[in-house]
Amino acid sequence: MGFSVSGSAAILFIAAFVSVGILYSAAYNGYERVQDADGSYDDRMLEQRNTAVNVTNATYNATGSEHVTVNVTNEGSTSLSIGETDLLVDGEFQSRDSYIDWDVEGQTNTTLWLPGETYNITVDAGTNGSRVKVVTAGGVTVTAEVA
């Protein structure tokens, strides 16, 4: 047995060492991504558990034009985004561009809806809306009958 056997054994050993290094780094990167995804999921679930909204008033106003006014109170401990809170009247999505009026505690220049504050929305119902649903960014919803 000469140099060729020792040389080929060395080449195979180095190739195996490099292969294990590559496999380890790929497996570790995959493991890190799974751990990051689990952490993000846990954060979303915690935010969802800390979010609570309540429709304090939903009224239909037929004087002059047909409007539905919805007052929703943030009763959770999470600050909510106005731009990520949606309203449905009788199952029909109401885009923010179609809102006749909206405010949070009288403020119309805010993007946040803090805990304890009430978000007031007025939309053109078109017909006598009988049910409203408010959907927050985290997927928390509340439904109420229109009075």
Per-residue confidence (pLDDT) for residue 60, from 0 to 100:
86
Tokens encoding 23: 């496999």
Q: How many Å apart are CA 12 and CA 128, to the nearest integer? A: 79
**How do residues 28-57 score in pLDDT, each as one tens digit?**
989 999 999 999 999 999 999 999 999 999
53-145 has which CATH code?
Answer: 2.60.40
What pTM was computed for the model? Answer: 0.75
**How do residues 67-81 score in pLDDT, each as one tens digit?**
899 999 999 999 999
Domain ranges of the chain: 1-49, 53-145
Q: How many Å apart are CA 113 and CA 22, to the nearest integer? A: 49
**How do residues 82-141 score in pLDDT, each as one tens digit?**
999 999 998 889 998 889 999 999 999 999 999 999 999 999 876 666 899 999 988 899
Nearest-CA neighbor of 124 among 92, 76, 82, 147?
92
